[in-house]
Amino acid sequence: MQGANLELTKLYYSIGEVAEMFAVNTSLIRFWEKEFDNIRPKKNSRGNRLFTQKDIKSFEQIFELVKLKGYTLEGAKKKLSGQEEIPRLHLDVMEKLEKIKLQLLALKV
């Protein structure tokens, strides 16, 4: 994925082009389209999805949150809607580290 370096020059992009931009399968693009309300591609007379630059920017945000930062889909939805949530993975690690710290302190005494 080119990330923030995506140069969007066309008005509409096919699902294959969008998938290629992010190096993912078209099935993931369709899945994210269903999961996230802010992605609403137009469809041509043959039913092919036509994604706008705004849709691609949304995909870019979702990709960063889910694939790069480890957010769950629910966490990414909350982050994008302004209800920020610490990624669940991060919370799990922090809780485990805190337990280990307490165990080590108990051993030290």
Q: Which residues on neighbouring strands pair with residue 51, listed in sequence order?
A: 13
Mind giving me the DSSP string for 19-66? Answer: HHHHT--HHHHHHHHHH-TT---EE-TT--EEB-HHHHHHHHHHHIII
* pLDDT, tens only, 27-39: 999 999 999 998 9
Domains and CATH numbers, the chain: 3-108 (1.10.1660.10)
Amino acid at 60: E
- Cβ atoms of 22 and 11 closer than 8 Å: no
User: What confidence score (pLDDT) does residue 2 get?
Assistant: 47
* pLDDT, tens only, 37-93: 989 999 999 999 999 999 999 999 999 999 999 999 998 998 888 766 555 666 677
Q: Which residue has the tokens 């669940």?
A: 88
What does pTM read for this prediction?
A: 0.68
Counted residue by residue, the chain has a size of 109
